[in-house]
Amino acid sequence: MKKVDVLVIGGSAAGLVAAMTSKSNNPKKEVMVVRREEKVMIPCGIPYIFGTLGTTEDNILPDAGLHALGVEIKIDTVVQVDTDNKTCKTEDGTEIQYEKLIFATGSQPIVPGWLKGADLENVYTIPKNKVYLDGVLKSLDQFENIIVVGAGFIGVETSDELNKLGKNVTLIEIQDRILGMAFDADIASDAEEKLKARGVNVRTGIGIQEIIGNGKVDSVKLSDGSTMKAEAVVLSMGYRPNTELAEKTGLAMNEKGFIAVDEYMRTSISDIFAAGDCASKRDFATGKLSTTMLASTACAEARVAGLNLDHLSTYRSFKGTIGIYSTNLGESSYGVAGLTEEGARREGFHICTGTFSGIDRHPGKLNRAHKQLVKLIVSKDSGRILGGEAIGGDSVGELINVIGFIVQAGFTLTDLLVSQIGTQPMLTASPAAYPLIKAAEVVLREMKK
């Protein structure tokens, strides 16, 4: 029987970070990762294999960090966990005894049971599975007319990437706008216009009812009764947590179907932790159960789990899911952190908002200058910043991270207004017209009305 101090089940973002954190924090401990895949995909990079990268080989999460620390990797599947004896059994018959166990089993694409025709040939999902995705790439290469169902981040980015290859791509979304779960209408509409301008056919406010074909896809039937011809269909209708093994093990689940954990990522059974897409989440602002699944959130949870294996620390707890997203469409990027205006009002917050649009270089005639718009959502009662959204160029990814830090730190409007910033003509907006600060000034004026 193999004996280890820490066993991690799952090797994507959460599994990798949990293992590395555990080993870094306790170098003398024996840490092992058991994962199904020989090569692990970078989760957020998967849409880009369809166009920009063109291959899964250029989107591999490297094992170098694990090897350098001395983490052992076993390519196998855990099929049973005996919590009384602290042992796991894998598919090849290996038994592994552990002191601490971390579930990082991730998620898988949702294929609705009601969707007739989902089992037809040339209907695909987008899992984090290299072998499957290699097959999808090879297959889609021969088709011209492709329908993508679901306009969340994965669906939008996949549509844009397939469009880059000259495919005739139609993106179908049942909500009234793309990216509707993440952005307010004013930001989402800008992204939708950009996507359409780039050549993607976008149909919102309509759902898919059935996929039609004799053995393989021929067309899709929409919720209004109309049909569209298609050679292939890509379903991007959300993800669900992989919890089958956890349920079989006897771990408590929350009402959303995730493994129940506390702020230290502990499960209902002693010495077992969970992190990433399979683990439960609570919204940072409201405390309500959340279904947010992000690699960045998974990594944060994994660090918390890895740091709390031996003893709990109040400095090492997870305070809730913020939801920090960004995406890119050509030269334009979009980001959101925390609550949107619509989300805040829906939850009952008394808020003020402010938007400022400027340029991310100074002067604006410099090369690669791009419009930069920042929108802030602020509690009218306390002045606390609840969230923010941004449109811009390449800098949006880091800008929205800064806004995420502001939300997590509990910054008030005043804190932001008196913050010191560093600016440089080729890298940032002008210090006199810095959109993040100017948006705060707009909110302040609104609060004084």
pLDDT in tens, 226-249: 999 999 999 999 999 999 999 999
Same domain, 8 and 99: yes
pLDDT at 314: 63
Given the structure tokens 């008196």, which residue do they identify?
Answer: 418
How many helices (DSSP H) and strands (DSSP E) are in the chain?
11, 26
pLDDT at 315: 59
Same domain, 11 and 102: yes
Structural domain includes residue 167: yes
Expressed in percent and rounded to 5, the helix, strand and coil fractions of the chain are 30, 30, 45
Determine the average pLDDT of the residues in 390-416: 95
- What CATH number does residue 51 fall under? 3.50.50.60
Same domain, 274 and 366: no
Determine the average pLDDT of the residues in 162-182: 97
Q: Are 36 and 318 in contact (CB under 8 A)?
A: no
Same domain, 289 and 362: no
Structural domain includes residue 193: yes
The total domain count for the chain is: 3
Determine the average pLDDT of the residues in 398-411: 96
Burial of 29 (0-12, 13-18, 19+ CB in 10 A): middle
* Cis, peptide link before residue 109, omega less than 30° from 0: no
Structural domain includes residue 17: yes
Determine the average pLDDT of the residues in 316-338: 91
Distance CA 61, CA 299 (A): 13
pLDDT at 39: 96
CA–CA–CA angle 225, 227, 233 (5° rounding): 120
Same domain, 254 and 164: no
* pLDDT above 70 as % of the chain: 99
Which residue, 237, 253, 285, sits at the end of a domain? Answer: 237
Given the structure tokens 């049973």, which residue do they identify?
Answer: 80
SS3 string of 291-356? Answer: CCCCHHHHHHHHHHHHHCCCCCCCCCCCCCECCEEEEEECCEEEEEEECCHHHHHHHCCCEEEEEE
Same domain, 352 and 432: yes
Q: Is the pLDDT of residue 124 over 90?
A: yes
Predicted confidence (pLDDT) per residue in 250-298, tens digit: 999 999 999 999 999 999 999 999 999 999 999 999 999 999 999 999 9
pLDDT at 317: 72
- What CATH number does residue 383 fall under? 3.30.390.30
Label residue 217 by pLDDT band (50, 70, 90). very high
Question: Would you tell me how many other CB atoms lie within 10 Å of the CB of residue 443?
Answer: 26
Which residue, 209, 237, 265, sits at the end of a domain? Answer: 237
Same domain, 76 and 181: no
pLDDT at 316: 65
Label residue 310 by pLDDT band (50, 70, 90). confident
Label residue 167 by pLDDT band (50, 70, 90). very high
Structural domain includes residue 324: no
Instruction: Record the tokens describing residue 301, joined without a space.
Output: 């949870």
Q: Are 306 and 25 in contact (CB under 8 A)?
A: yes
Q: How far is CA 54 from CA 39, 145, 168, 243, in A?
A: 17, 18, 17, 32
Same domain, 139 and 178: yes
Same domain, 198 and 286: no
Distance CA 420, CA 398 (A): 17
Q: Are 104 and 15 in contact (CB under 8 A)?
A: yes
Q: Is the pLDDT of residue 364 over 80?
A: yes
For the chain, what is the mean pLDDT?
A: 95
Determine the average pLDDT of the residues in 89-108: 97
Structural domain includes residue 327: no
Q: Is the pLDDT of residue 313 over 80?
A: no
Same domain, 389 and 247: no
Determine the average pLDDT of the residues in 421-434: 92
Pairing of strands 145-149, 168-173: parallel
Predicted confidence (pLDDT) per residue in 36-66, tens digit: 999 999 999 999 999 999 999 999 999 999 9
Structural domain boundaries, residue 424: 334-447
Structural domain includes residue 329: no
Structural domain includes residue 328: no
Q: Classify 416 as helix, strand or coil.
A: helix
pLDDT at 448: 84
pTM value?
0.93
Which residue, 237, 259, 279, sits at the end of a domain? Answer: 237
